[in-house]
Amino acid sequence: MDRLLTGLQPSGCLTIGNYSGGIKQVINYQANYETFLFVPDMHATTVTQDPDELRKNIKSAVGLYLACGVDVTRPNMHLYIQSENLYHANLSWILECHSYYGEMARMHQFKEKSKLHENFTCGLVTYPVLMAADILLYDAKYVPTGIDQKQHVELARNLAIRFNNRYKDEFFVVPEPLLPTIGAKIRDLQEPTKKMSKSTTNPKSAIFLLDNEKDIRKKIMSAQTDSEARVAFDEENKPGVSNLLSIYSVFSGMSIEELVEKFSGGGYGDLKKALAEVLVEKLTAIQDNYSKIMQSGIIDDALDAGRDYTNAIAKEKYEKVRRAVGYGR
Ligand code: ATP
Ligand code: MG
Is residue 205 within 6 Å of ligand 1 at its C-beta?
A: no
Q: Predicted confidence band at 318 (pLDDT cuts at 50, 70, 90)?
A: very high
SS3 3: strand
> Residue of the nearest CA to atom 23 in ligand 1?
18
Give the Cβ contact number of residue 151 at 10 Å.
15
Is residue 131 within 6 Å of ligand 1 at its C-beta?
A: no
Is residue 46 within 6 Å of ligand 1 at its C-beta?
A: no
Is residue 197 within 6 Å of ligand 1 at its C-beta?
A: yes
Quote the ligand 2 centre to 317 CA distance (angstroms). Answer: 27
Mean pLDDT of 169-185: 98
Q: What is the pLDDT of residue 234?
A: 96
pLDDT at position 118 over 90: no
CB 49 within 8 Å of CB 130? no
Quote the ligand 2 centre to 222 CA distance (angstroms). Answer: 24
Q: What is the pLDDT of residue 207?
A: 98
> Residue of the nearest CA to atom 6 in ligand 1?
197
Q: Quote the CA–CA distance of 123 and 293 in Å, as a whole number.
A: 33
Catalytic positions: 113, 195, 198
pLDDT digits (tens, 9 = 90+) for 199-256: 999 999 999 999 999 999 999 999 999 999 899 999 999 999 999 999 999 999 999 9
CB 279 within 8 Å of CB 247? yes
Q: Residue 39, by phi and psi: left (phi above 0), alpha (psi -120 to 50) or beta?
A: beta
pTM of structure: 0.97
CB 241 within 8 Å of CB 226? yes
Q: What is the pLDDT of residue 117?
A: 85
Mean pLDDT of 43-56: 96
In Å, what is the CA distance from 72 to each residue of 45, 111, 112, 134?
Answer: 27, 36, 35, 20
Q: What is the mean pLDDT of the chain?
A: 97
pLDDT digits (tens, 9 = 90+) for 265-285: 889 999 999 999 999 999 999
pLDDT at position 141 over 90: yes
Q: Pairing between strand 176-178 and 77-81?
A: unpaired
* Chosen CATH of 213-291 out of 3.40.120.10, 1.10.240.10, 3.40.50.1970, 3.40.50.720: 1.10.240.10
**In the Cβ-directed half-sphere of 131, how many Cα atoms lie within 13 Å?**
30
pLDDT at position 259 over 90: yes
Q: Residue ranges of the domains in the chain?
A: 3-179+297-325, 213-291
Q: Quote the CA–CA distance of 311 and 91 in Å, as a whole number.
A: 13
Mean pLDDT of 94-123: 94
pLDDT at position 77 over 90: yes
Residue 229 or 100, more confident? 100
Task: Using alpha carbons, select from 174, 176, 184 the residue that is nearest to residue 139.
Answer: 174
Residue 118 or 183, more confident? 183
* Chosen CATH of 3-179+297-325 out of 3.40.630.30, 3.40.50.620, 3.90.400.10, 3.20.20.70: 3.40.50.620
| Ligand 1 atom nearest to 146, measured from its CA | 20
Quote the ligand 1 centre to 229 CA distance (angstroms). Answer: 30
pLDDT digits (tens, 9 = 90+) for 145-165: 999 999 999 999 999 999 999
Torsion of CA 218, 219, 222, 225, to 10 degrees: -150
Quote the ligand 1 centre to 20 CA distance (angstroms). Answer: 9
